[in-house]
Structure 1
Amino acid sequence: MQKKAVRDKMEESKKYGCAEVLMMLKQIKLNELSLNPFTMIGDEWMLISAGDEQKYNMMTAAWGGLGVMWGKSVAAVVIRPTRYTLDFVKAKDHFALNFFDSSFKPVLSYCGSHSGRDVDKEKGTGLTPVFTAQAPYFAQAKLVMVCRKLYQQKLDPGCFLDGSLDAKWYPEKDYHECFVGEIAGVWKSE
């Protein structure tokens, strides 16, 4: 995105309560990261984004994980079948995980309570999308991980060893689709 377009978008985003400063993101090596995934995902939340410049969507997620599998650094996310973002993640080879500072909690709440089927989330949040060949991410993020899908599977209710989890989290039987993606690139605010 050109600098003028980013400045114009940032002026517009002020109307929607976003932080007033665009983070300057720098690509880093994965082993340069020092983070607590339990806090980042479970407490601070993240946006999962997928699609392209023509059409994309993002959703808030508080479930997922980071680790090593099949000799690769990976991220795992789960998406319910009712979520609009699921179609975008399924259709593309990559998705992005976007992490923000605490001033963006209202933005993440908005993205978690509004569907891209019904509203323009970009307009509703003032977030500035950045489009790469792999996946869209957001200029205001403090950390972005672009992931290449390696594995996907719908959660199987027959595999729950603790049946109370099924009863508690899936009363509507709307089992998540799980995606494991290799972390192909990481960008961090300077």
Structure 2
Amino acid sequence: MQFSDLFKQISTKDICAGFDIFKLVGNDFFLITSGNKDNYNSMTGSGGGFGMLFRTPSTWCVIRSDRYTLELIQKEKTYTLSYFTDEYKDQLIFLGNKTGRGTDKMKEVKLTSVQTPSGNITFKEAKLIIECKLTQITMPHPNDFYSQEARDYLTEAYKNPSDYRKYVFGEITAIWENNIKK
């Protein structure tokens, strides 16, 4: 089955009309995936956002600095954000709890990997796919924030260097909606 049989390309305007963006980034489980068909890894995303950066439709997400997926994003300079219906919640939790460094957790999951026309890896079961080209990775410092809640969060998160959070920004290069799952 061809990728175009499974997914249709939509615009950034269509994503705003067809999906609740705050539900996507605040409630729905999603996977961040990078690599190539021979070596890729996914992790569960939690939080993030969409907007304009340098006059370009963009995404951002937060990834712990020790995650293997982050290493692959830095190497490949591309990644996908794949959103799923609740029926795949257990699979996404599994991918968030098990490392892909030194193991092949991707073979243990019951999701079907597919390549987008540009070669990025995603999954046939996704309801929405956002392809991204890496724009920037930065690490915020607690003093960069003015709300006490944000400072407290980062201070707690930065107890160990491996827990440092990186903010990953990417230009949206394509958006795909599943022809069957919505």
When normalised by structure 1's length, the TM-score is 0.81
Which has the higher mean CA deviation after the structures are superposed, 108-117 or 174-183? Answer: 174-183
2:159 to 171, 177, 187: 171
Which runs of 5 or more structure 1 residues have no equivalent in the other structure? 7-22
Task: State the Cα distance separating 1:122 from its structure 2 match.
Answer: 2.4
**Number of the residue aligned with 2:48:** 64
CA contact (8 A) 1:122 1:128 kept: no
CA contact (8 A) 1:94 1:134 kept: no
Deviations 1:122-177 (A, max 9, x none): 22212111124342111110000001112221222332333322233333242212
Which has the higher mean CA deviation after the structures are superposed, 73-82 or 120-129? Answer: 120-129
The 4+ residue runs of structure 1 with deviation greater than 6 A are none
Which runs of 5 or more structure 2 residues have no equivalent in the other structure? none
**Number of the residue aligned with 1:130:** 114
Identity of aligned residues (%): 29
Q: Which amino acid aligns with 2:21?
A: P
Which has the higher mean CA deviation after the structures are superposed, 166-175 or 55-64? Answer: 166-175
1:24 and 1:156 mapped to 2: Cα distance? 42
1:150 aligns with 2:135: yes
Residues 146 and 59 (structure 1), Cα distance of their counterparts in 2 relative to 1, 3 Å cut:
same
State the aligned residue count: 171
**Number of the residue aligned with 2:174:** 185
For residues 35-114 of structure 1, the aligned pairs below 5 Å read 35-114=19-98
**Number of the residue aligned with 2:145:** 160
Which has the higher mean CA deviation after the structures are superposed, 92-101 or 156-165? Answer: 156-165
- Aligned alpha-carbon RMSD (Å): 2.1
